[in-house]
Amino acid sequence: MFYTALKKYFLWLVVVSPFILMLLPADFFDTGSTVCISQTLAGVECYGCGLTRATMHLLHFDFVTAWQFNKLVYIVTPLLFLFWLKAAYIVLGKTPPGFLAKHF
């Protein structure tokens, strides 16, 4: 029972979070310290460094800045959109289409 309720709240958070992020300014995450363990311990940027900032700029249609932060944003964001779409179907109580149900 608890697990089902927790899963439902988590899925609602997943569905609502892009809209909340769109309300924030595009440069909201541009300043501050890094949370990357690779950069903190070794001083080396990993492939995920800058991905949050790039995704934020991509959500605000700032394509050039998103590309400058992390080029993988154009691969990762469409995959995140598919996960988001499946979560939206589940939250709405509908069955996801075959491709989403099978692969995501």
Residues in the chain: 104
> With contact defined as beta carbons under 8 Å apart, do 94 and 15 qualify?
no
Domain ranges of the chain: 2-103
What percent of the chain is predicted at pLDDT more than 70? 97
Print burial letters for 48-77: b (CB count within 10 Å at least 16), e (below 16). Answer: ebbbbbbbbbbbbebeebbeebbeebeebb
Supply the pLDDT for residue 57.
95
Q: What is the pLDDT of residues 30-59, one digit of tens each?
A: 887 878 888 888 888 889 889 999 999 999
> pTM for the full model?
0.77
Confidence grade of residue 29 (pLDDT, cut at 50, 70, 90): confident
pLDDT digits (tens, 9 = 90+) for 53-65: 999 999 999 999 9
